Structure 1
């Protein structure tokens, strides 16, 4: 990316803004050195990483970066054998600790949101915990070497403290015994020497070395000889202590040198993640949205220049889809240059992996270069005029521009004769159009308005101007060329009418027609916008009514279904109670059947009649596609839709419009529209179904293994009744072998059962002696 373009679009402002959100010197340095990425994949990866960091901030809070500093120079010094100071060694330990704390933060965040970029980057980091522990064991949090850093240092510091204690004791004794000789009973420090303030006339009465004299000459500062000897010993110990500290620091520096390469990787990782989080924090603070990078198409929705506050008029613009050249016209101070810089700067930001200050997610075309010609760069030193400086820049631009470039031209062709300037501007636009790059150019030349109509790849745009208030609105109107407005403004300001009329005479007739046409276009645009707003309001009102109707309909359906469900539940409960009572009665009648002469199949019919009264839990609804007059035949199985009950047709009217249905013990006449045919009549079972009603399907065998004889016999009786009703002539009862008690009881019972023709043990394939094959009377 050309340095001139970055400077012209003030990209440095974005770098500084993001640097303010960095949490370490590493991140600040990375933000200030931020540049657009060379390829689209890298920029998209950066945007994805920033998006992850923004979600981490919103869900898990800001990451821990405390204590992390740039230790690159320290690592380099350690690798060449240099000795690091205690505070720089502490910085190394703090970076190791900070990296571990950040890794834990990412692990916690992974439990809340799905992360990809952060965990992948952290895989490169090395946890040099042992190096940190060695440094911490020798250096405290204030950057001072601890006494326990080595046994020798511990001994030397103990000796030094004892010697300093002796100095204090000697001085206290001398102060007490020589008070009459002293100017003041205090210990005065002269440099690193402990001295007594002795009156000048008594200086020979105290043995020692004169270290200083007061300005008046009345006081002599003497270091007592007893203290001199001890102080010399202290200084010797201090020299040994310094050498020991130097040895300890060198040893720790060598430890750091051993892991310098791994730590350099940690530094790079932490610098990268701090840059990501700085961009995410900037996006959160400014309400920026994540852009989508495209192949040469710009769709900006409500874009604002980052240096303007949120009260600024947003820019809505598209480029590269149906047109590649956008010609923007309008009055001075109307916002043309700001619009140009906004589009260029936001493109740089998106290509650098930054979120954009837009009202909603926008699209940015990724480009290889951005060429910019904005502002007046005339040079007195080089004797270049405004026009010459622009031409020099454009000439360089034309020699390097490519198809995937973005070109921003402010006041194209300005600074020279209007006729020649407009002709030159058209020629430059033709060359750029032939290359196929994307171009946004601002101009005052009316000729360029016509150029946009002649070139299919170009589109007019203008900055709106309110003639009534004589103020620009700063709105970009794509598709509408700008008007001069000079005569209208002069008229509003009070210029005499005769002068205005004369001025209009000198205006070319074609220009008058063009201005009138543009005025009609603007009026039509305003009417279209008004109609669109009204249509949007109507649509929203209609949508609200539709949602209200749907909610009301759903509530009604739910209430109706609840009523139906409650009714079915109550009906089922009533029938179940009736069935329970009937089962008791049937059991009593069965026990008396030999004396009362009651037939089993009569009892079964009674029970089936009660079962047929149980309504289904989810009756089928009548659909629009259902036949209004189903084919009704005697013996067919049907459902009475209004009752939700099943029955059999026993009679059909001559015209087929109604049928008599047997519902258990009850018969009723039902219209054909209220019937749903479930099963067509089967010839061989028509009479049986009509006489006995439809019985439920049963299996060919009954398994009673593990049951008591009494329970098994009751189940067998019911099973044989069902077999008679459904017409099963041969069934198998599985009882198992076991001790033989259950088998013998069942076979004895079957020998005298009225529904059994014969019963024999099962064959080898039917269970052998563990089963009994029964032939039923049907």
Structure 2
């Protein structure tokens, strides 16, 4: 397995990508990345990178910046060595990062509502909470050992603080008494002991030990005898403090040792995840996609990743079925070599698990080897000419390349006699064509252009040259051989016209067989290119439609969630409103007990209280009611009551209304009163009065005034019998005849206590609300 990575500039890709990794181990993984020839390995790596790109595209990728490299600390922990405070702090931060990234990894599948395989790494990340708590109990975020780290440490530091306080108090008293003998009135520190600055001339007048002199020699720093014992005690306590801290750190190191294998797995997992997301971010910034691994090389709008995106010309590079060799011809500086490098580099990137800058639908085989002979490798040290250098590489390729490989040859056969070079090039291509591999070669030899048409396994291609602007377009034209345009390029580069004309005069005047062939194929190529461009346009439109559909799906999902939340809030608001109304009714009734009030106000309050939640109960009872002969029902159509006589087929009943009998469906009436067939004693006419169920609204619209008056009088009687507290009469606006009739009728009726126009929510002046006494 050999890949000519340096020739194809794969190392530059690696260096660019390493900057996207946030951890040391992640960067090491990037720099160690090489293509694989194992298809399963390639597919797994590509899948991980593509999933990482989903996180990046949604702005949900975890941040790996600032994660400490704890590998050296874990090595020491494994052999039970003492871990220093910085090591323990790094481990504590590492635990926090593990917890954070584990949480962030779970966010994307919830966001996209699809399973994400990268979440499996959550199981490999174990948060060692006990170790984190143990470190937090010992030190703060700056690494300062807490007084509460142990009982003994707290006791030692208490004694140390008290000793230092006594030393300072003693020295402060001495400063005041001996102020004239001092160069400054301050307490300072020399050789871990408290001292005072004394004039050299007075150094023998203060009992103590000289610990140091100033640089000028005018000040002696003296530790007075009166604090010597206290200073010695301070030093002993500081030594005790250091020993206790060391004991505490050993205990913490032992806890780390117990879980060092878990921490190592976490560190390796975070490093791998950082590596995956570095690949994903690198691919996302260059608008790269995941290629499909198949048996065909088909790169749609491929771009060289190291050329500026604003200037690079995308090209479609494809090998049709049965084609094994592509010969690329055309002018110098036209992009032939770039095409070779683009193909080889993108193949290496894909087999390294990287996204590549092509359009969706691109495919690549998993090559066993990717060999390249590109550029001028002339070596003075090895006494090799350009031709010899190329031949040395090509010999190595012929001897070592295997089936299933990709071979890239630049300027095949150049650097020697054209006739011999072209013949040698054709023989080399024959030798490669016998193997089951793909070959791409560039050349200027016209013989190779004609040679390509002698074999079905070989196809011509060329880089386009604009003869009007005398500039290369860098577009790759498939199935069409190109011309070198040496005269035009020489003229563009400033070659004297006299030289150009002399060269043209020496060229063959007649059109050669190859030239005729090129002319015909150019016409065919333009037709095929037009078809390809149309197909690519359709592909772009399809991709855009897919993106729009996905965006619409997300928008609808968001709107659905928003609507559900609004409905929940609205239901909550309605419930709270009903509760508030019920409380208000209770308060109104309490006030009515002690105040003078009108009858219709009491009736209104009673009816409102009864109405709360009654509607649903009525519907429920109506749904479960089993009718029986003799039941009294209310007929909607006639606004009258009737008696059920006999059940007919299905849900139909024979109903008696006064002297009239007719058949009605159960949906045409509602239950009013049960049958009273069982009689224990004769009843008076008053006792036989049926309490009717009357709707709270009467609609008179569409009736003439005199007809409506009769219906209204009957309705007022029914409301009185049913003990209805109030009712609504719908008369509309119209010519006001119905409205005036209703006002006149209810004002004269002894059954009506009061009336009013409807409010805005009740129908306004098109409705009259009446209250019964």
TM-score (norm 2): 0.66
1:445-594 to structure 2, matched below 5 A, reads 445-490=445-490, 500=500, 502-508=502-508, 512-515=512-515, 517-519=517-519, 521-522=521-522, 525-526=525-526
1:2 to 1:33, Cα distance in 2 relative to 1, 3 A: same
Q: Deviations over 1:382-439 (max 9, x none)?
A: 3333333322222222222112111111222233333332222222211111112111
Report deviation, 1:196.
2.4
Contact 2:329–2:484 (Cα < 8 Å) also in 1: no
1:91 to 1:307, Cα distance in 2 relative to 1, 3 A: farther
| Separation in 2, partners of 1:540, 1:177 | 93
1:524 to 1:431, Cα distance in 2 relative to 1, 3 A: closer
Contact 2:213–2:219 (Cα < 8 Å) also in 1: yes
Correspondent of 2:648 among 693, 715, 720: 715
Report deviation, 1:181.
0.9
Q: Deviations over 1:301-328 (max 9, x none)?
A: 2433334223311121102634121111
1:303 to 1:215, Cα distance in 2 relative to 1, 3 A: closer
Contact 2:466–2:473 (Cα < 8 Å) also in 1: yes
Contact 1:60–1:109 (Cα < 8 Å) also in 2: no
Task: State the partner residue of 2:254.
Answer: 254
Q: Which moved more, 1:481-490 or 1:335-344?
A: 481-490
Report deviation, 1:256.
1.4
| Separation in 1, partners of 2:478, 2:510 | 23
| Separation in 2, partners of 1:537, 1:243 | 76
| Separation in 2, partners of 1:147, 1:106 | 38
Report deviation, 1:449.
1.5
Q: Deviations over 1:38-78 (max 9, x none)?
A: 42222222222222222233346232446533322322221
| Separation in 1, partners of 2:256, 2:52 | 31
Q: Which moved more, 1:77-86 or 1:230-239?
A: 230-239
Contact 1:289–1:361 (Cα < 8 Å) also in 2: no
Q: Deviations over 1:265-312 (max 9, x none)?
A: 222222222222222222332222222111242333243333422331
| Separation in 2, partners of 1:539, 1:143 | 59
SS at match of 2:434: helix
SS at match of 1:83: coil
Report deviation, 1:506.
3.6
SS at match of 1:332: coil
Give structure 1 stretches of 5+ with no counterpart: 542-703, 722-738, 743-778
| Separation in 2, partners of 1:291, 1:16 | 22
Report deviation, 1:472.
1.5
Give structure 2 stretches of 5+ with no counterpart: 542-624, 631-642, 655-674, 679-773
Report deviation, 1:491.
5.8
1:109 to 1:379, Cα distance in 2 relative to 1, 3 A: same
Task: State the partner residue of 1:220.
Answer: 220
Would you say 1:48 and 2:54 are equivalent positions? no
1:361 to 1:20, Cα distance in 2 relative to 1, 3 A: farther
1:528 to 1:344, Cα distance in 2 relative to 1, 3 A: closer
Please report the RMSD computed on the Cα atoms of aligned residues, expressed in angstroms. Answer: 3.4
Report deviation, 1:533.
7.3
Task: State the partner residue of 2:187.
Answer: 187
| Separation in 2, partners of 1:194, 1:307 | 68
Q: Deviations over 1:488-514 (max 9, x none)?
A: 445667877776565345435787442
SS at match of 1:115: coil
Alignment coverage as a number of residue pairs: 561
1:80 to 1:489, Cα distance in 2 relative to 1, 3 A: closer
1:429 to 1:28, Cα distance in 2 relative to 1, 3 A: same
| Separation in 1, partners of 2:198, 2:26 | 60
Task: State the partner residue of 1:336.
Answer: 336
1:254 to 1:715, Cα distance in 2 relative to 1, 3 A: same
| Separation in 2, partners of 1:181, 1:513 | 115
1:319 to 1:357, Cα distance in 2 relative to 1, 3 A: same
1:439 to 1:493, Cα distance in 2 relative to 1, 3 A: closer
1:345 to 1:510, Cα distance in 2 relative to 1, 3 A: farther
Task: State the partner residue of 2:70.
Answer: 71
| Separation in 1, partners of 2:181, 2:11 | 71
1:144 to 1:409, Cα distance in 2 relative to 1, 3 A: farther
Contact 1:67–1:91 (Cα < 8 Å) also in 2: no
Contact 1:287–1:357 (Cα < 8 Å) also in 2: yes
TM-score (norm 1): 0.66
Would you say 1:121 and 2:54 are equivalent positions? no
| Separation in 1, partners of 2:133, 2:38 | 42
Task: State the partner residue of 1:621.
Answer: none
| Separation in 1, partners of 2:307, 2:505 | 44
Task: State the partner residue of 1:208.
Answer: 208
| Separation in 1, partners of 2:176, 2:227 | 15
SS at match of 1:439: strand
| Separation in 1, partners of 2:72, 2:365 | 39
| Separation in 2, partners of 1:121, 1:259 | 19
Contact 1:481–1:518 (Cα < 8 Å) also in 2: yes
| Separation in 2, partners of 1:510, 1:155 | 108
1:220 to 1:320, Cα distance in 2 relative to 1, 3 A: farther
| Separation in 2, partners of 1:530, 1:716 | 75
Contact 2:449–2:514 (Cα < 8 Å) also in 1: no
| Separation in 1, partners of 2:217, 2:496 | 95
SS at match of 1:185: coil
Task: State the partner residue of 1:291.
Answer: 291
Task: State the partner residue of 1:394.
Answer: 394
Report deviation, 1:714.
4.7
Task: State the partner residue of 2:444.
Answer: 444
Contact 2:209–2:224 (Cα < 8 Å) also in 1: yes
| Separation in 2, partners of 1:110, 1:322 | 42
| Separation in 2, partners of 1:134, 1:406 | 57
